[in-house]
Structure formats: C-alpha cells, structure tokens
Amino acid sequence: MTQQFKEDGTVVPVTLIYAEPNTVTQVRSLEADGYVAVQVGSEEKKKLPKAQLGHIKDLPKVSTLKEFRVDSDAGLKRGDTISIETFQPGVHVDVTGISKGRGFAG
C-alpha cells in the first residue's frame, strides 16, 4: 500500500501489484468439459514432474497452474500470453489473497 498525489494536492491510496506474464496452458470448452474455462500457468522453473511436462508440452515450463472460468467469447487459445498490457488503464480488477497461517504468534 502506498499513496499518490493529485495535482491539487489530495492524496490517493493505491496498491501496487506485480503481475508477471501468464501462459494459457489449456482451454476448456462447453462441448468437451461441460463448462468454459482457461488454465493459465506462471513462474517458469527448470525442473518439473514428468506428468506436468507432458501437460505443458511445447509451452514454457511453468510450475503454477490455475484455472479460471471465462465467457465463451474470450478468444483465448493454448499458448497465448496474458500480460499487463491486456488491461486498460483505470479498469477495476478484483484481487483476492490468501493469508498464510502463522499459528500463535503472541
């Protein structure tokens, strides 16, 4: 969390987010899978399990795979890259995070 100043001097709170490029690893269709979604991968690593290497054959070696439901007209295909340039300035993006449990820290 940080802040930016407008020209008139008012302070606006902002959150900076690091967004690395993601690769579309799988596209699920209504006909084949019963729902429409895309699976994206991030965090390139050198060593991966053989099963995962077979799943992402001919794509960058990404270790983290997440699936998101999309509209049927998303227009994404396997191998496409989703980067920060995909979003327009000023568009609101919903972001959720997961807090790591630290147990009793008192």
Q: Which helix (H) or strand (E) holds 50?
A: helix 50-55
Q: Which tens digit of pLDDT belongs to each residue from 68-86?
A: 898 876 788 899 998 888 8
In angstroms, the CA 12 to CA 55 distance is: 44
21-73, CATH topology level:
Double Stranded RNA Binding Domain (3.30.160)
pLDDT at position 8: 96
- Predicted model pTM: 0.69
Q: Which tens digit of pLDDT belongs to each residue from 14-41?
A: 888 788 889 999 999 899 999 999 999 9
Q: Which residues contact 97 (CB under 8 A, 6 or more apart)?
A: none
Strand residues in the chain grouped as ranges (E): 2-5, 11-14, 22-28, 37-44, 62-69, 81-82
SS3 22: strand
Q: Tell me the domain boundaries of the chain.
A: 21-73
* Percentage of the chain modeled with pLDDT above 90: 32
| Dihedral over alpha carbons 48, 76, 68, 25 (to 10 degrees) | -10
